[in-house]
Amino acid sequence: MAPPPTPENRASRPNSPNEAYKRPLDLVILFAAHVALAPLWLIMWLAIPLAIWLEDRGPVFYTQLRLGKGGRTFKVYKFRSMVRDAEEYTGAVWAADDDPRITKVGKLLRARALDELPQVINLWKGDLSLVGPRPERPGLAAEFAKELPRFSERLRVRPGLTGVAQVYGRYATRPRDKLRYDLLYIRKMSPQLDIKLLFMSVWLTATGHWHDSEKHFR
C-alpha cells in the first residue's frame, strides 16, 4: 500500500487545474466580439498599422517566441511599439514603464494595451486563452526560474491575453509578484473569475488606466 501523501509531496504534485471550460468560453466570446464589434475591429486594423508606419516607416508587426502550456514554444504577434531593432544590442530585457525605446505611437498603444490586438490570431489558433498567465520569453523564463523555483508552474495552464497580474499589477511589476498573481489565478480559476477579469480588462482599455496603480487581489 502506498504511503499517505505528505505536505512535501503534495506541494511537488499540485492538483491539475480544471481547464475544460476555457476553450469553449474563449471561442464563444471571440465569435460574439467579432460580430458585435466588426466596424470597430475594421477601423483599428486600418488606423493602427497606418499610424505605426507613418511614425518611422518601420515594420507594423512584431513577433516574439513565447512559452505556452507545457513549455511548448510559439510565436506571439503584436503591433510594434518600440523603435526598429530595439533589442539588437540589448537582447531580451525586462519591461519598464519609462523604456526610452518605446515610440510615441507605441506609448498610446500600450496605455490601452492595443499593441496586443494582433494576438487575436494566437487566440483563434489556441496558442493563448483569453485569461491566464502572460506567456514569457524562453530566455527570460530561464533566468527567472533560477531565482523563483515555482516559476515553471505557470506552464501548467494555457497562457492568456490578460490575467490577474496584468489587471492587478503594473507593467513593470517584479517577476516574483507577477508569479504570485499567476499562481493565485491557477488556484482560483473559474468561468466567473475569467469573465470578471475580462470586464476589468475592457474597462482598463477603454479608460487608458492600465498599470496606473497596483491593486489587490485575494
The percent of residues above 90 in pLDDT, for the chain, comes to 65
In a domain? residue 11: no
Q: What is the pLDDT of residues 23-70, one digit of tens each?
A: 999 999 999 999 999 999 999 999 999 999 999 999 999 999 999 999
30/128 Cα distance (integer angstroms): 12
In a domain? residue 10: no
| Largest interatomic CA distance in the chain | 70
| Contact indicator for 130, 24 with CB cutoff of 8 Å | no
Cell numbers that stand for 181 in this block: 498573481
Which among 30, 45, 101 has a CA at the least distance from the CA of 77?
Answer: 45
Report pLDDT for 20.
92
In a domain? residue 192: yes
Report pLDDT for 210.
66
pTM: 0.81
97 sits in the region (left: phi over 0; alpha: psi -120 to 50; else beta) called alpha
In a domain? residue 78: yes
SS3 90: coil
Instruction: Give me the helices (H) in 37-163, please.
Output: 38-56, 104-111, 120-125, 138-147
Question: What parts of the chain have a pLDDT lower than 50?
Answer: 1-13
Q: Please calculate the CA angle 89-93-94 and round it to the nearest 5 degrees.
A: 160
Report pLDDT for 168.
87
State CA 113 to chain mean position distance. 10
In a domain? residue 1: no
In a domain? residue 217: no
Report pLDDT for 99.
79
Report pLDDT for 17.
78
Q: Show the domain range for 123.
A: 19-207
Number of domains in the chain: 1
In a domain? residue 2: no
Cα first-last separation, the chain: 39
145/152 Cα distance (integer angstroms): 7
In a domain? residue 5: no
Using the CB atoms, write b or e for 51-66: b if 16+ within 10 Å: bbeeeeeeeeebeeeb
5/57 Cα distance (integer angstroms): 60
